[in-house]
Amino acid sequence: MKIAYVHDVIYPYVKGGAERRVWEVSRRLAKGGHEVHIFGMKHWEGDDLIEREGVVLHGVSPAGSLYSGGRRSISAAVRFSARLLPKLRGDFDVIDAQQFPYLPCFSAKLHALRRGAPLVITWHEVWGEYWREYLGRMAPFGILAERGALRLPERIIPVSERVRADLLGMGVGADRMEVVNNGVDLDRFGAVGAGEALYDLIYVGRLSAHKRVDLLIEAVGLLREEVPGIRCGIVGNGPEMAALSRLVQDRGLEGRVEFLGFLDGEDEVVAKFKAARIFVLPSTREGFGMSVLEANACGLPAVVVDAKRSAAADLITEGKNGVLCRPSASSIASKVAGLLAGGSYERMAGPAKEFAKGYDWSLIAGKLERVYEGL
């Protein structure tokens, strides 16, 4: 098959769940003999077209700032979508567009109609009423874009059962959907050793408001007397970095919380995971929760906030690969203390690794291949 992926950002130039998914399945499908192309912003020097691991990357437009005022830039999405119209060329057997930021899905649909190719949209998260919190009075435009995008594809691929249920609630027919989860690179994770610095807690992800990393920092403050010498590593960057740094200073946690920033190498992130005891995901909004699988693959149990809009909570089997908590600093602190007490977290290492095995990216790529062939 000749497969086109459409997403405005490409891994590893931008690192996020959707970017990781597209790259991991692309290189595996290419290795399996398929011709795979990714259309996104150009984050590299030189030619607009380059090849990595058998995958052709198309630099559709110059890389610009993705965020404005802590939110995804609408103008950046408009520019990319406009440039995509003439750049998306080729007789593809299937086009798979990533749902967010919505506008490129419409450009992909126009090409699909011209070429008679089926369009798939991989749906990472349903926003629904969250648009009102995110855009305020501009929310109707976001709601309109989301509902319009739902009408475009022949097949929608939700990344989790939680997303599928949300889509059903928006009137999408069950016959138009097939869930294909996100995954984890077990071979790579198994080959990396632990880093030197040891952390009791670790967070890996973007520093955005809905990730609620502030709750993790407050939890460390509550734990410093109960767990002498407690250390927390925070891997990632984002619009909340300045506010979170101030919170650490205000709480006098400079020696307890370390901001590790954006790590270029995948192996560096794995090494940080393996140098920790417990992974904490305080996020209240997740379409899947890939970082939970990555932590589990490293033998770390995960403390995950049980929130209505977080599919990451669905990945947790209590006492096996992690525990659930309420969206509060005190609840996070209580669960962490329970796992650290008597080395309870160590007894969950084996079951956590076993759980992650069911989500190897090779299995995920195989499922996607079957969906595409069915179209």
Say if residue 11 is in the same domain as residue 36.
Answer: yes
Say if residue 194 is in the same domain as residue 332.
Answer: yes
**Surface-to-core class of residue 51, CB atoms within 10 Å of its CB (0-12 exposed, 13-18 middle, 19+ buried):** exposed
3-state secondary structure at position 133? helix
Report DSSP state, residue 11: T
Other Cβ atoms within 10 Å of 34 Cβ, number: 19
Residue 60: what pLDDT? 96
189-212 average pLDDT score: 90
CATH number at residue 141: 3.40.50.2000
Report the percent of the chain where pLDDT is more than 90. 82
Query: Is pLDDT above 90 for 119?
Result: yes
Residue 136: what pLDDT? 84
Question: How far, in Å, are 94, 302, 330, 356 from residue 343 at the CA level?
Answer: 49, 14, 20, 21
pLDDT tens digit sequence for 252-276: 999 999 999 988 777 899 999 999 9
Total number of domains constituting the chain: 2
Say if residue 109 is in the same domain as residue 147.
Answer: yes
Residue 327: what pLDDT? 97
Global pTM value: 0.90
Say if residue 173 is in the same domain as residue 190.
Answer: no
Report the percent of the chain where pLDDT is more than 70. 100
Say if residue 94 is in the same domain as residue 238.
Answer: no
Say if residue 154 is in the same domain as residue 210.
Answer: no
Give the mean pLDDT of the chain: 94
User: CA-based diameter of the chain, in Å?
Assistant: 65
Residue 71: what pLDDT? 76
Cβ pair 163, 312 in contact under 8 A: no
Query: Is pLDDT above 90 for 177?
Result: yes
Query: Is pLDDT above 90 for 351?
Result: yes
Residue 289: what pLDDT? 93
Residue 369: what pLDDT? 98
The β-bridge relationship of strands 155-158 and 119-123 is parallel
Say if residue 236 is in the same domain as residue 293.
Answer: yes
- 65: pLDDT confidence band, cut at 50, 70 and 90? confident
pLDDT tens digit sequence for 132-156: 888 888 889 889 999 999 999 999 9
Say if residue 265 is in the same domain as residue 127.
Answer: no
Query: Is pLDDT above 90 for 87?
Result: yes
pLDDT tens digit sequence for 8-38: 999 988 878 899 999 999 999 999 999 999 9
Say if residue 191 is in the same domain as residue 163.
Answer: no
**If we measure between CA atoms, which residue out of 222, 348, 203, 355 comes closest to residue 283?**
203
223-246 average pLDDT score: 94
Residue 114: what pLDDT? 93
Supply the range of the domain harboring residue 159: 2-183+360-374
Cβ pair 95, 119 in contact under 8 A: yes
Query: Is pLDDT above 80 for 67?
Result: no
pLDDT tens digit sequence for 330-342: 999 999 999 999 8
3-state secondary structure at position 348? coil
Residue 194: what pLDDT? 84
Residue 267: what pLDDT? 87
Say if residue 63 is in the same domain as residue 174.
Answer: yes
Say if residue 148 is in the same domain as residue 206.
Answer: no
Say if residue 115 is in the same domain as residue 247.
Answer: no
Query: Is pLDDT above 90 for 72?
Result: no
Helical pair 266-274 and 290-297, crossing angle rounded to 10 deg: 60
Q: Rounded to 10 degrees, what is the CA torsion of 148, 149, 155, 160?
A: -120
